[in-house]
Amino acid sequence: MARRSGRPATSPSSSGPTRHRARTRPRVASPAWSRTSSSRARRSTRWPGRAIATRACGGRSRRSTASTTHCGSRPAYGCSCRHGARRRPSPRGADVPDDRAINASLTVSGMELRTELLAYVEQVVVDQDLYRPAMFAISLVDPRHDIVEQSGLKPGVSIEIAAVGQGADEGEALVAGQVVSIECDYDQLGARVVVRGYDAAHRLHRTRRTRVFRNMTDSDIVKQVANDAGLQVGLIEPTSEVHDHVSQANVTDWEFLSDRARSAGLDLTIVDGELQLGRRGTSDAAPPDVGEDPRRLLFGYNLEAFHARVSAADQVANVQVRGWDDERKEPVAATVAAGTEAAGLDAAAPSELAGLFGSPTFVAVTRPIRSEREAESTAKVLAERIGSAFAEAEGTAHGNTALRAGAAVRVSGVSEQFNGAYVLTRVKHVINRRGYRTLFTVSGRHDRSLLGLVAGSNGNGNGHGHGDGLEGRRAPGFVRGLVSDNADPEHLGRVKVRLPWLDEAYSSNWAPVIQLGAGPDSGTFFLPAVGDEVLVGFEHGRVDQPIIVGGLFNGTDKPPSYSSYLDDGAVTGRGIWSRTGHQLTFHDADDLAGIVLQAVDGRRSVGSVGLNAKDRKLVLISDDKVEVRATGDIELKGTNVTIEADGQLVLKGSQIKLN
């Protein structure tokens, strides 16, 4: 929302500090190469309709500005040092605000900050970043120790900060957010208060959550998370793929949604207090190198400093993503050409730089990929991420409200190697009594902040970073879980598990169970029962891709006949027991060596078949009847055959032959 700057045109009221006259530093002779007093105005070839002229050192500006910086003595912008804006102590030792008000307006809880209070504001900094909430810091002098009460700048209140950029008559909002903290600083120079806050995105950082989203698209997930966090939903680019199961496992809403957005090649932003999901600006959206668009940055005119780097390091010609389709039991892969929309230079491109050194195709295998469509979309995102590192830059421009994180600008007036279009990753607006400056950073799809470097989110996976930057939060190692469901609708022998240590209500996606052999109509099949404790691993460290490694005994569920199969450290028996007690046991003790197959009815054994290795005999025991049936012949043959009956012996047949 456009807003007229709150810069006071007159001195504060009589209740505030009195007006004073600023002393002017004596003019000194400037070097011959810097004298401009005799320069005549000339028409700009780059900026039609404007004349370019430099006023003499110490000369008066044609138009009123907020800057009162003496020529040749400008401090560094963005400096938070309390000596950066020196205050004049009053006779009583209390700070008196300068009558040179900053070129900004503050709206607190819907009310614009009064002019007499705005005079106490020393500096306003608004820091916008594509990878974290926009934040602001407001520095005020506090001569009567009541500036917080007078201004209403307390934690929790809403605030909107607007500024007037170069050549503009009205202010434009830079950020709308909430105050989160206040600080004080008392020393010999007086009292100072710093008020800090964030835009609405900070609500997505406040807590870690564990939950599951089922049968939803990414755009639907974003809407639900925003509503749960109490955020207004803005423009959400619809996504078509419906996910059966998406896990948010002990991560903040911002981390979770950012991971989902990156995977879809989209960006998460806050605009006018609303959460939006869409594609960031591209270098193609930069203005042409003609006209007076505020996003045109001409070095020596509205661009004061510029540092850029064009590098062929890590650049590749192509990016390939590989995975495994477990439905069709075959690999999947997709290859795309490297490139970027984060920068478009006149003299270089990622593919050209990659070709200088014959870079091979970069292959990514660090995340589960189940289909060719998923492989292709992931390859495009990764190609953009790698390509965006070919050109990075930092710069300082005159105060410019059109410079925002995600905005595309055109830089000119520098070497042809660096002229071109850039998409801004981070923008810092610094407004104080010396004027208004805008600092910016271009780092493509990489977070070059200290936090981003520590988190290891800047690599592309080719040995110069940590992964492909798309993997999100990983779960290394193995964890314990409880089986919650084993009725696999696709009859693949999978189960779902609860992870009570993570969250009581969390239940995983369908997880395959490791078997001793699993071929076509062959192998073993041991399916864990609901309630069994199991060991869970995660494919590529993804919590939403669990694999059951095996079952675990515990203090409640103990192994059967444990002490019977140990003899002074030696294991004398092994076996398989069913839940009802049927067992197949292998005995290695000298006096019991053999194999026993036993059936149990309740707690009573109904029979067993034993292979006695010591006596070299097969023993068939039944507590009831034994039947041997065959549709063909039955032949009993041995050196000696004994048939003994305690009761009646019956032999039946159409013919009975006795030899």
Q: Provide the pLDDT for residue 354.
A: 84
305 and 432, same structural domain?
yes
Taking the CA atoms of residue 444, residue 446, residue 450 and residue 456 in that order, the dihedral angle to the nearest 10 degrees is -170
CATH number at residue 546: 2.40.50.230
Best-predicted range by mean pLDDT among 59-68, 351-360, 524-533, 539-548?
A: 524-533
The DSSP symbol for 99 reads: S
pLDDT reading at 391 higher than 80: yes
What mean pLDDT is predicted for residues 239-247?
A: 91
Q: Provide the pLDDT for residue 542.
A: 86
Query: Which pLDDT band, with edges at 50, 70 and 90, does 452 fall under?
Result: low
Residue 498 lies in a domain: yes
CB atoms within 10 A of CB 97: 24
Q: Provide the pLDDT for residue 21.
A: 37
Q: Which residues contact 168 (CB under 8 A, 6 or more apart)?
A: 401
What mean pLDDT is predicted for residues 97-126?
A: 84
Q: Provide the pLDDT for residue 517.
A: 87
DSSP 539-597: GGG-TTSEEEEEE---SSSPPTTTGGGEETTEE-EEEEE-TTS-EEEEE-STTT-EEEE
CATH number at residue 214: 3.55.50.10
Of all residues in the chain, what percent carry a pLDDT higher than 70?
79
Q: Which element (helix H / strand E) includes 222?
A: helix 218-228
Query: Residue 647 and residue 32: Cα distance in Å, rounded?
Result: 133
Query: Which pLDDT band, with edges at 50, 70 and 90, does 170 fall under?
Result: confident
Task: State which residues form the domain around 488.
Answer: 479-551
Query: Which pLDDT band, with edges at 50, 70 and 90, does 313 fall under?
Result: confident
Residue 640 lies in a domain: no
400 and 320, same structural domain?
yes
439 and 367, same structural domain?
yes
Query: Which pLDDT band, with edges at 50, 70 and 90, does 25 fall under?
Result: very low
Taking the CA atoms of residue 336, residue 338, residue 341 and residue 343 in that order, the dihedral angle to the nearest 10 degrees is 180
Give first-to-last CA distance, the chain, whole Å. Answer: 113
How long is the chain? 659
Q: 494 near 530, Cβ under 8 Å? A: no
Q: H helices within 14-61, ranges in order?
A: none
pLDDT reading at 38 higher than 80: no
What mean pLDDT is predicted for residues 56-69?
A: 43
Q: H helices within 388-520, ranges in order?
A: 450-455
What mean pLDDT is predicted for residues 325-334?
A: 90
More confident residue, 339 or 253: 253
CB atoms within 10 A of CB 358: 7
Query: Residue 174 and residue 103: Cα distance in Å, rounded?
Result: 13
102 and 117, same structural domain?
yes
The last residue of one of the domains, among 201, 225, 255, is: 201
Q: Provide the pLDDT for residue 456.
A: 55
370 and 354, same structural domain?
yes
What mean pLDDT is predicted for residues 503-530?
A: 91
Q: Provide the pLDDT for residue 559.
A: 87
**Burial (CB count <10 Å: 0-12, 13-18, 19+), residue 628:** exposed
Query: Residue 524 and residue 293: Cα distance in Å, rounded?
Result: 70
Q: Provide the pLDDT for residue 604.
A: 64
More confident residue, 56 or 423: 423
Residue 619 lies in a domain: no
191 and 98, same structural domain?
yes
Shortest CA distance to 105 belongs to which of 5, 2, 1?
A: 5
Q: 241 near 217, Cβ under 8 Å? A: yes
293 and 434, same structural domain?
yes
CA 437 to chain centre: 30
The last residue of one of the domains, among 551, 585, 606, is: 551
Residue 57 lies in a domain: no
Q: Provide the pLDDT for residue 7.
A: 41
Q: Provide the pLDDT for residue 617.
A: 78
Shortest CA distance to 186 belongs to which of 141, 148, 149?
A: 141
Indicate the average pLDDT of the chain: 81
More confident residue, 462 or 585: 585
pTM for this prediction: 0.72
More confident residue, 345 or 51: 345
- Beta strands in 218-358, from DSSP E residues, in sequence order: 232-236, 243-252, 267-271, 274-278, 296-298, 303-310, 318-325, 330-337, 343-345
Q: Which residues contact 91 (CB under 8 A, 6 or more apart)?
A: none
Q: 395 near 299, Cβ under 8 Å? A: no
CB atoms within 10 A of CB 527: 14
84 and 128, same structural domain?
yes
Q: Provide the pLDDT for residue 628.
A: 86
329 and 230, same structural domain?
no
Query: Which pLDDT band, with edges at 50, 70 and 90, does 68 fall under?
Result: very low
Contacts 24+ apart (CB under 8 A), 573-581: 579/529
Q: Which element (helix H / strand E) includes 226?
A: helix 218-228
Best-predicted range by mean pLDDT among 212-226, 266-280, 586-600?
A: 212-226
Query: Which pLDDT band, with edges at 50, 70 and 90, does 566 fall under?
Result: confident
Axis crossing angle, helix 218-228 with helix 253-263, rounded to the nearest 10: 160
More confident residue, 181 or 30: 181
Q: Which two tokens stand for residue 542?
A: 């993804």
What mean pLDDT is predicted for residues 176-193?
A: 93
More confident residue, 50 or 452: 452
Q: What digits encode the pLDDT tens for the residues 125-146?
A: 999 998 889 999 999 999 999 9
**Burial (CB count <10 Å: 0-12, 13-18, 19+), residue 633:** exposed
Q: Which two tokens stand for residue 617?
A: 């005999």
Query: Residue 379 and residue 337: Cα distance in Å, rounded?
Result: 9
Q: Provide the pLDDT for residue 90.
A: 39
491 and 451, same structural domain?
no
What mean pLDDT is predicted for residues 639-643?
A: 88
CA 105 to chain centre: 33
CATH number at residue 146: 2.40.10.10
Query: Which pLDDT band, with edges at 50, 70 and 90, does 511 fall under?
Result: very high
Q: Provide the pLDDT for residue 49.
A: 44
pLDDT reading at 529 higher than 60: yes
Query: Residue 533 and residue 484: Cα distance in Å, rounded?
Result: 10
Residue with the two structure tokens 């003609």: 290
pLDDT reading at 388 higher than 50: yes
The DSSP symbol for 405 reads: T
Query: Residue 569 and residue 563: Cα distance in Å, rounded?
Result: 11
441 and 377, same structural domain?
yes
Structural domain count, the chain: 4
What mean pLDDT is predicted for residues 272-292?
A: 88
pLDDT reading at 121 higher than 90: yes
Residue 422 lies in a domain: yes
Query: Residue 591 and residue 572: Cα distance in Å, rounded?
Result: 11
pLDDT reading at 544 higher than 90: no
Query: Residue 216 and residue 257: Cα distance in Å, rounded?
Result: 14
- Beta strands in 16-68, from DSSP E residues, in sequence order: 42-43, 51-52
pLDDT reading at 183 higher than 70: yes
What mean pLDDT is predicted for residues 411-424?
A: 94
Query: Which pLDDT band, with edges at 50, 70 and 90, does 33 fall under?
Result: very low
Q: Which two tokens stand for residue 238?
A: 């619809």
**Burial (CB count <10 Å: 0-12, 13-18, 19+), residue 138:** buried
The DSSP symbol for 192 reads: E
Shortest CA distance to 249 belongs to which of 475, 93, 465?
A: 475
Q: Provide the pLDDT for residue 29.
A: 40
Residue 496 lies in a domain: yes
Query: Which pLDDT band, with edges at 50, 70 and 90, does 257 fall under?
Result: very high
Q: Provide the pLDDT for residue 37.
A: 39
pLDDT reading at 588 higher than 70: yes
Q: Provide the pLDDT for residue 5.
A: 43
More confident residue, 605 or 46: 605
Angle (CA) 458-462-468 rounded to 5° is: 45
Q: H helices within 281-371, ranges in order?
A: 350-355
What mean pLDDT is predicted for residues 85-99?
A: 43
CB atoms within 10 A of CB 593: 15
Q: Provide the pLDDT for residue 87.
A: 46
What mean pLDDT is predicted for residues 324-330?
A: 88
Strand partners, 121: 140
The last residue of one of the domains, among 186, 201, 216, is: 201
Query: Which pLDDT band, with edges at 50, 70 and 90, does 83 fall under?
Result: very low
Query: Which pLDDT band, with edges at 50, 70 and 90, does 489 fall under?
Result: very high
pLDDT reading at 13 higher than 60: no
Residue 80 lies in a domain: yes
391 and 326, same structural domain?
yes
Residue 436 lies in a domain: yes
Q: What digits encode the pLDDT tens for the residues 619-637?
A: 888 878 888 888 899 888 8
Shortest CA distance to 127 belongs to which of 503, 545, 427, 411?
A: 427
